[in-house]
Amino acid sequence: MEVRDVTTADLDAVLDDRSRAFGPLSAEGARTWRELVSPMLPEGRYLGAFEGPRLVGAARINPYLQWWHGRPLSMGGVASVTVSPEDRGRGVGRALTEAAVERCAALGHVVSALYPATTPLYRSVGYEHAGGMTRITLPAEALRTLGGPRGSGGQDGSGVSGGHGGAARPRRAGPGDAAELVAVIGGVYAATRASGPLCYDERTWRLWLADEDDYCYLAGDGYVLYRWSDGDIEVHHLVAGSEATARALWSLVGSASSVAKSVHACVDPADPVLWLLRERSDDDVTVRRWMLRLIDLPAAVAGRGFPAGVSMETVVEVTDRRRPANSGAWTLSVAGGSGSVTPARTPPGRGPGTGQGEATRLTIGGVSALFAGVPTATLRRSGRLTGGSPDADDALDAAFGCAAYMIDLF
Ligand SMILES: CC(C)(COP(=O)(O)OP(=O)(O)OC[C@H]1O[C@@H](n2cnc3c(N)ncnc32)[C@H](O)[C@@H]1OP(=O)(O)O)[C@@H](O)C(=O)NCCC(=O)NCCS
């Protein structure tokens, strides 16, 4: 078996494999799929596993930016890993995933994420569960009234805000607005110090914004992308950088309440809408899990944002069998909102009593999960973090702690 780049001539076989794996696409879906993936082929973003001329599996690497404490990192989104049914269980999936990790590195991605249909395959290649995509169902009528009765004061009587005051009236957006949309998304994720969400490149945005079933509205510091679905509203994205824009966009969606009973939305679990709603008790949510793998540990830490109030330094020892450049003892430092890892000067393995605290030891999956805010107490009790000390754990949690989320499934 050989893993090599997929070419245009292979696309029919890749699509056939994809259908056998996930179910068939409609004719229009297949057209959009070809439009989406064709420009990726010359970029080396579609890998195929072949036995002779026969395609036995494939995997794609989508180009994304992913925000970590407000700073964008180059992220390879591994998607559509498929193996022909008759070729499963022989190591093809693992070979493809290993090749995808190496290709992420070659493409300059410093982290990689994926939504696993099964965990062991990806865990064995260094990915670990890192965050979730939360889909919530909200009553449309409750959203409608978030805009307030024609510009009156806020619901808490403070008069601080409410109505659409302060927010530009949302305007319709189309493919020509891709660049502005990308800028708005980056601005909001930076300002809110978001961890986990991603943004497509302009090329992909133009394609999505051309879909006539989706409605997109842009506000100065936010946007919404939604469609009708079985008589309800499905919000793909709603991102708002201020209360006024959150109210304007959610109430625009809720204005469908005379027809739609419910609004389903993929949101940050700390999305402001959940604090704007007048009533909230049981959340009606489902969560899809995603996994993260650090591809280039020093670059990922250097590119990530950190809380400005945290200043720490500790030694971590990382093992990464598949990407040895990540392995070894590193001095991890965080100060002034930025971090770095540099090779530790003193050799690893010192124990208590040597005057040098024992280094915190992490698998590549462990350090990837830590990077995404999974608490050290969880990593320690699941065998992904050993050594170190309670003080070092506290420092690591203070630096990396976050509730990583995405609002995109890929
Ligand atoms: C999931 C899929 C890609 C796996 O491909 P594969 O070639 O059969 O996988 P491999 O033979 O390389 O197996 C690698 C490891 O994953 C495990 N694995 C594979 N499929 C699994 C499954 N469905 N459930 C649990 N573990 C699974 C294997 O047991 C093996 O682990 P082991 O070495 O510890 O035993 C393939 O079954 C497929 O195409 N499924 C349909 C589409 C899909 O789910 N894609 C994944 C999208 S994220």
CA of 35 to the centre of ligand 1 (A): 28
Please report whether residue 410 resides in a domain: no
User: Which one of 110, 126, 142 terminates a domain?
Assistant: 126
Please report whether residue 276 resides in a domain: yes
Please report whether residue 407 resides in a domain: no
CA of 126 to the centre of ligand 1 (A): 15
Q: Which pTM value belongs to this model?
A: 0.94
User: Is the CB–ligand 1 distance for residue 123 below 6 Å?
Assistant: no
Please report whether residue 26 resides in a domain: yes
Q: State which of 82, 98, 121 you would mutate to test the pocket of ligand 1, scoring each by most atoms of that ligand within 8 A of its C-beta.
A: 121
Say if residue 267 is in the same domain as residue 171. Answer: yes
Closest by CA position to 264, among listed 79, 407, 410: 407
Q: How far apart are the first and last CA of the chain?
A: 27
Q: State which of 118, 119, 129 you would mutate to test the pocket of ligand 1, scoring each by most atoms of that ligand within 8 A of its C-beta.
A: 118
Say if residue 269 is in the same domain as residue 314. Answer: no
Say if residue 337 is in the same domain as residue 263. Answer: no
User: Is the CB–ligand 1 distance for residue 287 below 6 Å?
Assistant: no
Say if residue 78 is in the same domain as residue 160. Answer: no
Say if residue 102 is in the same domain as residue 237. Answer: no
Please report whether residue 358 resides in a domain: yes
Question: What CA–CA distance (Å, rounded) separates 145 from 273?
Answer: 12
pLDDT of the chain, 410 residues: tens digit per residue = 999 999 999 999 999 999 999 999 999 999 999 999 999 999 999 999 999 999 999 999 999 999 999 999 999 999 999 999 999 999 999 999 999 999 999 999 999 999 999 999 999 999 999 999 999 999 999 999 999 765 444 445 454 444 445 666 899 999 999 999 999 999 999 999 999 999 999 999 999 999 999 999 999 999 999 999 999 999 999 999 999 999 999 999 999 999 999 999 999 999 999 999 999 999 999 999 999 999 999 999 999 999 999 999 999 999 999 999 999 999 999 999 999 999 998 655 554 444 457 999 999 999 999 999 999 999 999 999 999 999 999 999 999 999 999 999 99
Say if residue 106 is in the same domain as residue 180. Answer: no
Do 259 and 291 form a contact (C-beta atoms < 8 A)?
no
Please report whether residue 409 resides in a domain: no
Say if residue 107 is in the same domain as residue 145. Answer: no
For 188-227, b/e burial (b = at least 16 CB within 10 A) is: bbbebbbbbbbbbeeebbbbbbeeeeebbbbbbbbbbbbe
CA of 93 to the centre of ligand 1 (A): 6
CA angle 362, 97, 83 (to 5 degrees): 145
Q: What is the pLDDT of residue 89?
A: 97
Print the domain residue range for 380.
296-400
**Amino acid making up residue 134:** T
Question: What CA–CA distance (Å, rounded) separates 7 from 20?
Answer: 20
User: Is the CB–ligand 1 distance for residue 91 below 6 Å?
Assistant: yes
Kindly give the number of the ligand 1 atom that is closest to the alpha carbon of 17: 39
User: Which one of 126, 153, 185 terminates a domain?
Assistant: 126
Say if residue 143 is in the same domain as residue 269. Answer: yes
CA of 278 to the centre of ligand 1 (A): 45
Please report whether residue 405 resides in a domain: no
CATH number at residue 23: 3.40.630.30
User: Which one of 289, 318, 345 terminates a domain?
Assistant: 289
Please report whether residue 279 resides in a domain: yes
User: Is the CB–ligand 1 distance for residue 357 below 6 Å?
Assistant: no
Say if residue 142 is in the same domain as residue 113. Answer: no
Say if residue 354 is in the same domain as residue 395. Answer: yes
CA of 20 to the centre of ligand 1 (A): 14
How many structural domains does the chain have?
3
Say if residue 10 is in the same domain as residue 121. Answer: yes
CA of 291 to the centre of ligand 1 (A): 15
Say if residue 222 is in the same domain as residue 316. Answer: no
Q: What is the pLDDT of residue 181?
A: 98
Q: What is the pLDDT of residue 357?
A: 76
Nearest CA to ligand 1 atom 18: 121
User: Is the CB–ligand 1 distance for residue 4 below 6 Å?
Assistant: no
Question: What CA–CA distance (Å, rounded) separates 332 from 325?
Answer: 16
